[in-house]
Structure 1
Amino acid sequence: MAVPEHPRAEGARAEQLRKIRDAVGAGGFEVRWAVDAQDADAVLRTEAGLAAALVAWDLPGGGVEDGGPVVLRRIGRRFRDLPVFLIMTEEGVRDLPLWVSETVVGYVWPLEDTAGFIAGRITSAARAYREDVLPPFFRALRRFDDAHEYSWHTPAHSGGVAFLKSAAGRAFHDYFGERLLRSDLSISVGELGSLFEHTGPIGEAERNAARVFGSDSTYFVLHGDSTCNRLIGHFSVTRDELALVDRNCHKSVLQGLVVSGARPVYLVPTRNGYGLAGPLPPAELAPEAIAARLAVHPLAEAAVSPLPQYAVFTNSTYDGLSYDAVATARALAGSTPRVHFDEAWFAYARFHPLYTGRYGMAVDERTFPGPERPTVFATQSTHKLLAALSQSAMVHVRPAPRAPVEHDRFNEALMMHGTTSPLYPMIASLDVATAMMDGPQGEWLIDEAVTEAIRFRQEMVRLRKRVESAGDRPGWFFGVWQPDSVTDPATGARLPFDEAPPELLRTTQSCWLLEPGAAWHGFPGLTEEHCMLDPVKVTLTCPGITAAGDMAEEGIPARVLTAYLATRNIVVEKTDSYTTLILFSMGITKGKWGTLLDALMDFKALYDADAPLDRVLPAAVAAHPRRYAGLTLRELCRQMHGRLRSARLVELLDTAFQQLPEPVRPPQHCYQRLVRGGTERIRIADAANRVAAAMVTVTPPGIPVLMPGESTGDTDGPLLRYLTALESFDRHFPGFRSETHGVTIDEETGDYQIECLRR
Structure 2
Amino acid sequence: MPRSTILVAVDDSAEGSVLADQLRALCGRLDEQGYQVVRARTAQDALALTRVRVDLAAAVVGWDLGGDDGQRPAESVLKALMARFTRLPVFLVPTGTDVDDLPLWVAEVVSGYVWLLEDTPDFIAGRIGFAATRYLDEILPPFFRELRRFDDTHEYSWHTPAHAGGVAFLKSPVGRAFFDYYGERLFRTDLSISVGELGSLFEHTGPIGDAERNAARVFGADSTYFVVHGDSTADRMVCHAGVTQDDLVLVDRNCHKAVYHGLTITGGRPVYLVPTRNGYGLMGPIPPAALTAEAAAAGIRDSPLAEGATDPEPVYAVITNSTYDGLCYDAVRVAELLGASVPRLHLDEAWFAYARFNPLYARRYGMSVDASAIPDEKRPTVFATQSTHKLLAAFSQSSMVHIKNSPRAPVEHRQFNETFMMHATTSPMYPMLASLDVAAGMMDGAGGQWLTDEAITEAVRFRQAVARLGRRITAAADRPDWFFGTWQPDTVTDPHTGARFEFADAPLDLLRTEPGCWTLEPGADWHGFAGLEDGFCLLDPIKVTITCPGTDAKGTPATPGIPARILTAYLETRRIVVEKTDAYTCLVLFSMGITKGKWGTLLDALTDFKQLYDTAAPLAAVLPALVEQHPDRYAGLTLPDLCDQVHAELGRGDLVALLDEAFTHPPRPVLTPAQTYRGLIRGGAEPVRLSDLADRVVATMVVTTPPGIPVLMPGESAGHADSATMRYLRTLEAFDRRFPGFASETHGVTRDSAGDYWILCLR
**TM-score category by the smaller chain?**
over 0.9
Quote the Cα distance in structure 2 between the aligned partners of 1:402 and 1:689. 42
SS in structure 1 at match of 2:565: helix
Matched, 1:510 2:522: no
**Amino acid in structure 1 at the alignment position of 2:639:** L
> Deviation digits for residues 596-653 of structure 1, max 9, x if unmatched?
1100000000000110001000111111111111111110011111111001111111
SS in structure 1 at match of 2:39: coil
Matched, 1:210 2:210: no
> Deviation digits for residues 323-346 of structure 1, max 9, x if unmatched?
111111000011111100000000
Per the alignment, do residues 328 and 8 of structure 1 end up closer, same or farther by CA in structure 2, a change over 3 Å counting? same
Superposed displacement of residue 91, structure 1: 2.4
Any residues of structure 2 matched to 1:573-612 within 5 Å, and which?
573-612=579-618
> In the alignment, which of 475, 478, 489 is matched to residue 483 of structure 1?
489
SS in structure 1 at match of 2:40: coil
The residue aligned with 1:757 is 762
Quote the Cα distance in structure 2 between the aligned partners of 1:680 and 1:399. 45
> Deviation digits for residues 89-111 of structure 1, max 9, x if unmatched?
22221111111122111000100
Quote the Cα distance in structure 1 between the aligned partners of 2:687 and 2:483. 44
> In the alignment, which of 639, 644, 657 is matched to residue 651 of structure 1?
657
> Deviation digits for residues 283-342 of structure 1, max 9, x if unmatched?
110111111111121111110000111100100000000011111100001111110000
> Deviation digits for residues 188-246 of structure 1, max 9, x if unmatched?
00000001100000000000000000000000000111110011111111111100000
Superposed displacement of residue 9, structure 1: 2.2
Per the alignment, do residues 53 and 553 of structure 1 end up closer, same or farther by CA in structure 2, a change over 3 Å counting? closer
CA contact (8 A) 1:283 1:289 kept: yes
CA contact (8 A) 2:11 2:62 kept: no
CA contact (8 A) 1:7 1:33 kept: no
Matched, 1:54 2:54: no
Matched, 1:110 2:133: no
CA contact (8 A) 1:513 1:532 kept: yes
CA contact (8 A) 1:2 1:36 kept: no
CA contact (8 A) 2:248 2:269 kept: yes
> Deviation digits for residues 354-406 of structure 1, max 9, x if unmatched?
00110000001111123121010000000000000000000000121221211
CA contact (8 A) 1:37 1:62 kept: no
Quote the Cα distance in structure 1 between the aligned partners of 2:323 and 2:731. 26
Matched, 1:376 2:390: no
Quote the Cα distance in structure 1 between the aligned partners of 2:194 and 2:298. 54
SS in structure 1 at match of 2:395: coil
The residue aligned with 1:242 is 248
SS in structure 2 at match of 1:219: strand
Any residues of structure 2 matched to 1:243-258 within 5 Å, and which?
243-258=249-264
Per the alignment, do residues 396 and 678 of structure 1 end up closer, same or farther by CA in structure 2, a change over 3 Å counting? same
Superposed displacement of residue 706, structure 1: 0.4
Per the alignment, do residues 129 and 647 of structure 1 end up closer, same or farther by CA in structure 2, a change over 3 Å counting? same
The residue aligned with 1:310 is 316
The residue aligned with 1:322 is 328
SS in structure 2 at match of 1:570: coil
> In the alignment, which of 217, 220, 226 is matched to residue 220 of structure 1?
226
Matched, 1:527 2:527: no
Matched, 1:201 2:207: yes
**Amino acid in structure 2 at the alignment position of 1:756:** C
Quote the Cα distance in structure 1 between the aligned partners of 2:762 and 2:69. 73
**Amino acid in structure 1 at the alignment position of 2:473:** V
Quote the Cα distance in structure 2 between the aligned partners of 1:308 and 1:658. 22
Superposed displacement of residue 593, structure 1: 0.5
The residue aligned with 2:433 is 427
TM value normalised by structure 1: 0.99
Superposed displacement of residue 129, structure 1: 0.6
Matched, 1:745 2:751: yes
**Amino acid in structure 1 at the alignment position of 2:43:** A
Quote the Cα distance in structure 2 between the aligned partners of 1:135 and 1:471. 57
SS in structure 1 at match of 2:169: helix
The residue aligned with 1:43 is 49
> In the alignment, which of 160, 165, 169 is matched to residue 175 of structure 2?
169
Quote the Cα distance in structure 1 between the aligned partners of 2:69 and 2:254. 51
> Deviation digits for residues 718-751 of structure 1, max 9, x if unmatched?
00100000011011111111111111111x1111
Matched, 1:418 2:424: yes
CA contact (8 A) 1:38 1:61 kept: no
Superposed displacement of residue 672, structure 1: 1.0
Any residues of structure 2 matched to 1:322-361 within 5 Å, and which?
322-361=328-367
> In the alignment, which of 286, 290, 298 is matched to residue 296 of structure 2?
290
Matched, 1:641 2:647: yes
Matched, 1:722 2:728: yes
The alignment yields a C-alpha RMSD, in angstroms, of 1.1
**Amino acid in structure 2 at the alignment position of 1:114:** T
Matched, 1:300 2:306: yes
Quote the Cα distance in structure 1 between the aligned partners of 2:199 and 2:428. 12
The residue aligned with 1:673 is 679
**Amino acid in structure 1 at the alignment position of 2:213:** R
Quote the Cα distance in structure 1 between the aligned partners of 2:68 and 2:453. 24
Superposed displacement of residue 673, structure 1: 1.1
Superposed displacement of residue 4, structure 1: 4.4
Per the alignment, do residues 296 and 56 of structure 1 end up closer, same or farther by CA in structure 2, a change over 3 Å counting? same
Quote the Cα distance in structure 2 between the aligned partners of 1:6 and 1:612. 62
Q: Which runs of 5+ in 1 are unaligned?
A: none
**Amino acid in structure 2 at the alignment position of 1:253:** V
CA contact (8 A) 2:9 2:65 kept: yes
SS in structure 1 at match of 2:308: coil
Matched, 1:386 2:384: no
**Amino acid in structure 1 at the alignment position of 2:762:** L
**Amino acid in structure 2 at the alignment position of 1:333:** G
> Deviation digits for residues 243-273 of structure 1, max 9, x if unmatched?
0000011111111111111000000001000
The residue aligned with 2:475 is 469
Superposed displacement of residue 6, structure 1: 4.5
Quote the Cα distance in structure 1 between the aligned partners of 2:144 and 2:727. 54
Matched, 1:229 2:244: no
Q: Which runs of 4+ in 1 moved over 4 A?
A: 61-65
Quote the Cα distance in structure 2 between the aligned partners of 1:121 and 1:575. 56
Quote the Cα distance in structure 2 between the aligned partners of 1:243 and 1:391. 26
SS in structure 2 at match of 1:495: strand
Quote the Cα distance in structure 1 between the aligned partners of 2:222 and 2:9. 45
CA contact (8 A) 1:614 1:621 kept: yes
Superposed displacement of residue 468, structure 1: 1.1
Aligned length: 757
Quote the Cα distance in structure 1 between the aligned partners of 2:28 and 2:597. 35
The residue aligned with 2:150 is 144
Superposed displacement of residue 2, structure 1: 4.2
SS in structure 2 at match of 1:33: strand
Per the alignment, do residues 46 and 8 of structure 1 end up closer, same or farther by CA in structure 2, a change over 3 Å counting? farther
Superposed displacement of residue 65, structure 1: 4.2
Quote the Cα distance in structure 2 between the aligned partners of 1:575 and 1:241. 36
CA contact (8 A) 1:477 1:543 kept: yes
CA contact (8 A) 1:517 1:524 kept: yes
CA contact (8 A) 1:87 1:107 kept: yes
Quote the Cα distance in structure 2 between the aligned partners of 1:690 and 1:239. 25
Farther off after superposition, 618-627 or 329-338: 618-627
**Amino acid in structure 1 at the alignment position of 2:453:** D
Quote the Cα distance in structure 2 between the aligned partners of 1:92 and 1:428. 46
Identical aligned pairs, as a percentage? 64
Quote the Cα distance in structure 1 between the aligned partners of 2:722 and 2:322. 34
The residue aligned with 1:494 is 500
